[in-house]
Structure 1
Amino acid sequence: MKLRKVTAASAVVLALAVTATACGSDDKKDSDSSGGGKKITIGIKFDQPGIGQKTPQGYSGFDVDVATYVAGKLGYKADQIQWKETKSADRENALSRGDVDFIAASYSITPEREKKVDFAGPYLLAHQDVLIRSDDTAIKSPSDLNSKKLCSVTGSTSAQNVHDKLAPKAQLQQYPTYSACLTGLQSKAIDALTTDDSILAGYASQAAFKGKFKLGGLKMTNENYGIGVKKGSDLKAKINTALEAMVSDGSWQKAVDKNFGPAQYKNEPAPKIGNIVS
């Protein structure tokens, strides 16, 4: 009889312990869902100065500033952000796998990509352009690139697009990195570097290249940068609201000036949410 009483008491204690543990789990879940106790993981580029760059001092660039602002509006402080490198070829997979909550990484909105992910924005309208030496007066239009040495990174379609559609006699030069192209541009081994003007402005804004290069202003394509989220995610609407606030309170223009200003980047006005320029 005494043994049975002890067993019954133990059962009560065990039941209480299980209940307490369950309540504790619910409390943690509630805390996480509010943004107050968990982290948010954001995909960015790590190797694009002015856009998204990992440095010994931390992370910098226009996309980093935009993502930090958006995260703040979602309820996350800067120290609750986990930055994850998302290379161009892996962006859709990173979202579908759940590796990141959203991606801000010079991510152009295209019909093909919209089949796989949802986009908030756009938050920047960029254009394919060329970067040339600051004393260059010969390149004023895409056709002026004919017979010029045109550089882009290995595997990029930017230089090929110019060659195929606008300057068929351009001499394509493929270098492993944009930095290598810049070195070639500085030494006159190449005449122009081509990719998105925002990326070019970011590189030209580096202290080592200040005053040495300028954008051609050719505006050869339209690149609508959006923030990628997993297909069907309710984050899209929340991020759009945050982007609208960033523009209205002046934070968007400040981020543009800070990251691209040294290259005298003539940015387009902040695009309206959902307005994709073809």
Structure 2
Amino acid sequence: MKLRRVTAASAAVLALAVAATACGSDDKDDSSSSSSGGGDKKITIGIKFDQPGIGQKTPDGYTGFDVDVATYVAKQLGYDEDQIQWKEAKSADRETMLQRGDVDFIAASYSINDERAAKVDFAGPYLLAHQDVLVRADDKDIKSPEDLNSKKLCSVAGSTSAQNVKDKLAPKAQLQQYQTYSQCLTGLQSGAIDALTTDDSILAGYASQASFKGKFKLGGFKMTNENYGIGVKKGSDLKAKIDTALEKMVSDKSWDKAVEANFGPAGYENEPAPKIGNVVK
């Protein structure tokens, strides 16, 4: 009797083990099938979370020109909107994020230059922006970069934009550095500062916010050329595919619609869509 009880128990354990193995095998097959079938595929895209009109995270989702461009590109690559995973790409982190594979590509007011191009590849450019200034809508004194002399000029701490103006165009400008562009805008609105400087596309995005509509205007000075590109990992075959998608976005007028939707309220006089591979120095 004792031998029979041990044998029965052993058989029960064996049966459970076989069942568990079978279940594990089924789970693995299901997972593999789901992945190979593409039902759960995702694409991870880096954008700015704090630049209205360019890339901004809001309670209702993500908005901005870069978001519209990235969404269009992702669709051309075979991904629906709900298959996109957005990831914040701060300026100082962009090359590292691409090199580590944290994202598939980055569209985040990412100006193409030689230093960056040595570390990552760029598709595009998809927008030619310029360094400019934002002033109050009723300002009649600042008509050229030289008029910034003796004026209070704001940009964010660590930015080269304001220093570029002070060094090359208006050496007597009173440089004010705040932590965020939003703080600069508040100062501009109150009169604490006279002008805010950075890329005109970024300035237009901020000025287009409902709370600031009609309060500011762009100088239109075009002090530098900023070619926005989509960054990918060095050697990635995504570069050619993204270039093709961008060309289609321009040809079917989706690019124009995205510019108007995101920058139009600020009266942004954008450059025509740049040709792929044409980086304007």
* TM exceeding 0.5: yes
**1:148 aligns to what?**
151
* Deviant stretches of 4+, over 4 Å: 13-26
CA distance in 2, matches of 1:18, 1:69: 39
Query: 1:138 offset after TM fit, Å?
Result: 1.3
Query: 1:65 offset after TM fit, Å?
Result: 0.3
**2:117 aligns to what?**
114
User: Pairwise mapping of residues 1-278 of structure 1 onto structure 2 (< 5 A)?
Assistant: 27-32=33-38, 36-278=39-281
Q: Could you say if the C-alpha distance between residues 14 and 151 of structure 1 is closer, same or farther in structure 2, counting changes exceeding 3 Å? A: closer
CA distance in 2, matches of 1:122, 1:44: 16
Q: What's the CA shift string for 1:97-128, capped at 9, x where partnerless?
A: 11100000000000000000000000000000
Question: Number of residues paired by the alignment?
Answer: 268
Contact 2:35 2:41 (8 Å CA) reproduced = no
What runs of 5+ residues in structure 1 fail to find an aligned partner?
A: 1-9
CA distance in 1, matches of 2:20, 2:87: 42
Query: 1:31 offset after TM fit, Å?
Result: 2.8
Q: Could you say if the C-alpha distance between residues 46 and 17 of structure 1 is closer, same or farther in structure 2, counting changes exceeding 3 Å? A: closer
Query: 1:37 offset after TM fit, Å?
Result: 2.7
**1:3 aligns to what?**
none
The alignment's TM-score, normalised by the length of structure 2, stands at 0.90
- State the SS of the aligned residue for 2:155: strand
Q: Among the aligned pairs, what percent are the same residue?
A: 78
The alignment's TM-score, normalised by the length of structure 1, stands at 0.91
What runs of 5+ residues in structure 2 fail to find an aligned partner?
A: 1-14
Which AA in structure 1 matches 2:236?
A: S
**Structure possessing the higher radius of gyration over alpha carbons:** 2
CA distance in 2, matches of 1:131, 1:16: 67
